[in-house]
Structure 1
């Protein structure tokens, strides 16, 4: 099948599409592809996810329950752990995790294993797209050799491209469907075929770049930009605290400038699977070129230090009340790494809990999206947020500013509030309130 035939088949929705990895990126992408008429097969190594999808049961916040159930009932989406099903597919997108190992180096074993599975069933005319965030060079240096080990030639026999995921869990304005997409193929033909796919699926603009490396670097730049600017906001918060200046008022004042300033906000630390992790891919890759990414690493150090800073502030505030951290009742509001989601991956609140417990505090948490979670072999169960729970806490720490929290009740009943998210900005407080 030549390039024109492949593009035509995509435009006519005659292709069967596979999505490897049914998590926060893969499942929403699979749903969007099925909604426009493609037949989609999802692959995942977790049997529990496969069973949920095949029952039409949604577990991702950015997917509508009724949409998944309808698509499953219509036979547009199914899930499996059987990778031999790829033999019947025309397109495969890889959306698997790319974590860091214990040495802060990229672990692309999931990407490699996925590529090896695809290679077993690679056939002429197939399009393979990597969406997992990774370091520049992964598509060409890792995937291409694995796929070409079959004897098929990239750009001639099959098509290979990189298109970074741009998922922002909980974002009410931008989602998988309407967020612009960047696409870079190994060859111009690869780019054209991959772009044709996304043009059929998404409403957002498809922006073509000259190579996978450009697309890979673009994704790293996006999250490094946010990482560094959040680090600046966090450093300003630390300095403002020492100087007795309200950092939130400072940022609000700076926002009045109509150019040259973009507001970023401090917090208890970074979480999620992107901003705290992605910049380290580039730091690792830069060593290959004898370059030390100083700014990125300093930003990481600042952001990683915020949980400790929060615990220090908790200790100081309790001390003002003539109470030590040890044996004090500390109520944390929110475990998720950002508001209005149930994702606690890399959440700074986990470190805050560990540090407080090591100091002997009695820690409770309440989260409107997370009823319980496991961390380092221990299970934590949340508590309902009531007037009694609030009034019995020696300090209430707002660590995630969920919209569902009753901030009026919090302000009326908490004896001492430490707000790390500025959630109480316009809320009357009966007793004492301190902000980050």
Structure 2
């Protein structure tokens, strides 16, 4: 059966989109743009393949792009050496698509990008490579990806999609596609507005996490229970949205302050990045202080890290703060080990970190256990009993069961 959709980029943005499309009965092709973290389980991918999802390979594979009606570019855009976003994989995806694209194709970019990228970067690549003109010969639009990996409450079907097309016809063509996947489509005035929606949503998360991270440090200095403060504050039915502190901010959505890229940089976002980047160091300081309070030194201490992924119940380690925390602890002379049900092996600074086979025995043996990620399989009440000393950076343990961030 000829495919109706091509998803280019099968990482944290592309695979969930392809999964939703296949579930909606849309014949879908998937193309990788490079090394990409896989947000789905092998069983989920097998179910997709069994219901019509295909990943053509070999020299003839990209030729099938010329037969789809819609192509969505979901290539990752990691931080670049200059502090901006690296568009290398977006460029590769665009060039591959342009070489095979036919008239009347709808092209949508979902990768996180700076405002203006769809028109100023992607459009020229597609037009030059295809000989077609955006807005006349093919439709071009931007839609911010709103995937929340591991969230079972919000799926593509019940999450509104924002769309901004180069022309009104481009917007409507993209809307017609997304209306097959979601209950609600929201039309932006154009691609720059849609790109800026993604910018605002990402920065909103980072700024608010930075605020509660600063509150965590302040509350520890004041001897105040931050987690009780949050419990009470989130009962306010207006003007407050609860965020939780943690050991650092990981994931694929990079905060953007637009420094040097716009007339006015986002100073609050720049500050938030600095605050969040300091959290791994703060966790290590708290760990060393706890050990010292119990008559032990970080040098030679046996420290067990629990959960080394960036998000609970996922195997994704993109920008996980666990790596910096382990590196700093090892540089202090600590003997670091880890446990994570989703990560069978882990290297830090090109050195393998020992994996604990028996969780409770390892916690009982360690001088300090640090909960970095709250995986669903962890019995935190049981761990708090077994561990000699437990530092909970997620506020997940029962009150009084551990030292909390």
Query: Quick check: TM above 0.5?
Result: yes
1:374 aligned residue: 347
Q: Can you list the C-alpha shifts for 1:241-283, whole angstroms capped at 9, x where unaligned?
A: 1111111111112122221111111111101111xx1x22x42
Q: Can you list the C-alpha shifts for 1:22-48, whole angstroms capped at 9, x where unaligned?
A: 112212211222232322111114599
1:65 aligned residue: 43
Query: In terms of mean alpha carbon deviation, does 15-24 or 238-247 score higher?
Result: 15-24
Contact in 2 for aligned 1:31/1:77 (Cα 8 Å): no
Q: Can you list the C-alpha shifts for 1:371-398, whole angstroms capped at 9, x where unaligned?
A: 2233443333521343321111101111
1:335 aligned residue: 308
2:137 aligned residue: 157
Q: Confirm whether residue 80 of structure 1 aligns to residue 57 of structure 2.
A: yes
Q: Show the 5 A alignment for 1:239-318.
A: 239-274=218-253, 277=254, 279-280=255-256, 282-284=257-259, 287-318=260-291
Name the count of aligned residue pairs. Answer: 402
Distance 2:145 2:348 in 1: 27
Contact in 2 for aligned 1:368/1:405 (Cα 8 Å): no
1:10 aligned residue: none
Q: Show the 5 A alignment for 1:45-124.
A: 45=33, 60-61=39-40, 65=43, 68-80=45-57, 82-124=61-103
1:54 aligned residue: none
1:126 aligned residue: 105
Cα RMSD (Å) of the superposition? 2.1
Contact in 2 for aligned 1:311/1:356 (Cα 8 Å): yes
Q: Structure 1 residue 206: deviation in Å? A: 0.8
Greater fraction of residues in helix:
1
**Which ranges of structure 2 fall in alignment gaps of 5 or more residues?**
none
Contact in 1 for aligned 2:2/2:67 (Cα 8 Å): no
Query: In terms of mean alpha carbon deviation, does 375-384 or 307-316 score higher?
Result: 375-384
Runs of 4+ in structure 1 deviating by more than 6 angstroms, as ranges, are none
Q: Show the 5 A alignment for 1:376-395.
A: 376-395=349-368
Q: Confirm whether residue 22 of structure 1 aligns to residue 10 of structure 2.
A: yes
Distance 1:371 1:244 in 2: 38
**Which ranges of structure 1 fall in alignment gaps of 5 or more residues?**
1-12, 50-58
2:179 aligned residue: 199
Query: In terms of mean alpha carbon deviation, does 38-47 or 308-317 score higher?
Result: 38-47
Q: Provide the TM-score with structure 2 as the length reference.
A: 0.94
Contact in 2 for aligned 1:185/1:191 (Cα 8 Å): yes
SS at match of 1:400: coil
- 1:33 corresponds to which of 5, 16, 21: 21
Q: Confirm whether residue 409 of structure 1 aligns to residue 388 of structure 2.
A: no
1:6 aligned residue: none
Contact in 2 for aligned 1:44/1:79 (Cα 8 Å): no
Distance 2:281 2:36 in 1: 36
Q: Provide the TM-score with structure 1 as the length reference.
A: 0.87
Q: Structure 1 residue 74: deviation in Å? A: 4.6
Distance 1:144 1:424 in 2: 50
Distance 1:27 1:407 in 2: 32
